[in-house]
Amino acid sequence: MGSPKLGLFRENNNLFIRGFMILFLSCITIRLNFCISNIPSSLRILPLEGHLNFDDVSHAARDFGNRYQHHPIAVLHPKSVSDIAATIKHIWQMGPRSQLTVAARGHGHSLQGQAQTHGGVVINMESIKVPEMQVYTANHPYVDVSGGELWINILHESLRYGLAPKSWTDYLHLTVGGTLSNAGISGQAFRHGPQISNVQQLEIVTGKGEVLNCSSEQNGELFHSVLGGLGQFGIITRARISLEPAPTMVKWIRVLYADFTAFAKDQELLISAENAFDYIEGFVIINRTGLLNNWRSSFNPHDPVQASKFKSDGRTLFCLELAKYFDPEDNNEANQEVEKHLSHLNHIPSTLFLTEVTYVDFLDRVHVSEVKLRSKGLWDVPHPWLNLFIPKSQIHNFAEVVFGNILTETSNGPVLIYPVNKSKWDNRTSVVIPEEDIFYLVAFLTSAVPSSSGTDGLEHILNQNKRILEYCKRTLIGVKQYLPHYTTQGEWRDHFGPKWELFLKRKSVFDPLAILNPGQRIFQKATTFS
């Protein structure tokens, strides 16, 4: 039989729990009512061809990075550019008393909430279906596309005319506006520059809701500010992309190095060579065994007997990945070019692997990995990626410290490393790169295993990234983040360096209320209350 004191304690405890739950639910109701009442009535009745959704907004609070969740008050599904312009202009006219901001969302592939806005309006750029894609086949061919169009769709459409864009990203299921707001870089950048170097014209909606056509000659300041501008000056609603004759086939080659100096020297040799390869990238392999056996499913060893004898023995290895484009009728000439340029390289001879694939299969190669990861439930996980531009003069020190001491394995995502030529980049754009003629992209494209507390867990990877960044800041001069992420304006000022004042000036002209893309955390909308 229980004591009276114990019974009284239980009764009081039950009353406390019941009271707490009532209070908790009341708070949720009050908060929801506040959010609903906080939606300006003028936004609800805004005349649009498309529509604003105020209920189903949770998907706009997630991205590929899977680490940040900022819920908007509404998602705009525009049918036309005028819908985007009308919404932004309306928010602009509400003035600084409104806390509303706007974020353009493409395929949701941002890493740290850059395409999110807390309590603002997210624009679903993939909703725009007009104008339809148009390919022009004159002497200087190009394609006109919506800012919400996927690069994979542009590839398929332009190939109908025997043409294709010159510069790509490794992953093609991204929107035009998304990659042009950053730079868009892959293994073709050494020759053609990033994607932002291959744009002829843009249509932009500014932070005032103005729709402007721009190019180097027309509204040039806006044109260059938006390219690599992290969405801070306007939303890209249409782009004119340069095209070139497209090949049908690709010779895809991989070779290994045990020595980083030889690896870097060969990469730098190839990006300066004429008619060598059309794509040049490298990646780092740490603490991996059975690597060549994995390659055998899709690549053929040039010397099967020697390749079977190769042992990695847990060494850090560097893979040079090359591609030579060709058409079947030019196969012999392409083979001669490949053999000639490979003969000048200092790779481990027994590790030469090659295959031939279609141009489409090569460019869309990452999507194959995506399908496999999705089938295993390993795609929608945190992706704490880190992308850096390293000056050529610093790359050997970087490799020695990072690949020798900080990184212990690369089993949870590739580590890319390859050089590009600064001469192929336009310094009038907003993107920030090192000041040397050659610099390297180093990309740690890691996936975290949910709930893991080991080396493949989120906390360990974030700590690893922090150590790399601290080393760069402490020791290496001129290192810049690509797809940058900072939390204070002081850090952004350091990132932009001499470009910061120009960046500020452009912001004051094209988005003076700081309405656009607050998820970058560069500017905060100035608000006043009356």
| Cα atoms found within 13 Å of the Cα of residue 294, Cβ hemisphere only | 5
Q: Which three-class secondary structure state does DSSP give residue 124?
A: strand
Question: Exposed/middle/buried for 6, CB within 10 Å: 0-12, 13-18, 19+?
Answer: exposed
Query: Which entry of 126, 281, 364, 511 is annotated as an active-site residue?
Result: 281
Query: Which entry of 118, 156, 170, 456 is annotated as an active-site residue?
Result: 170
Rounded CA separation 405/475 (Å) = 15
Rounded CA separation 313/299 (Å) = 21
Query: Which entry of 70, 109, 224, 460 is annotated as an active-site residue?
Result: 109
The question of whether 109 is a catalytic residue gets the answer yes
Rounded CA separation 408/3 (Å) = 60
CA 213 to each of CA 85, 235, 433, 524: distance values in angstroms, whole numbers, following the listed order: 13, 12, 27, 27
**Across-strand partners of 105?**
124
Q: Are 388 and 185 in contact (CB under 8 A)?
A: no
Question: Exposed/middle/buried for 520, CB within 10 Å: 0-12, 13-18, 19+?
Answer: buried
Rounded CA separation 281/189 (Å) = 10
Nearest to 175 by CA among 72, 64, 83, 279: 64
3-state secondary structure 310-363: CCCCCCCEEEEEEEEEECHHHHHHHHHHHHHHHCCCCCCHHHCEEEEEEHHHHH
Rounded CA separation 428/221 (Å) = 9
User: Which residues, at least 6 apart from 147, have a Cβ–Cβ distance to it below 8 Å?
Assistant: 104, 106, 125, 128, 175, 176, 177, 203, 235, 236, 237, 238, 239
Q: Which three-class secondary structure state does DSSP give residue 372?
A: helix
Q: What is the CA radius of gyration of the chain?
A: 26
Catalytic residue annotation:
109, 170, 281
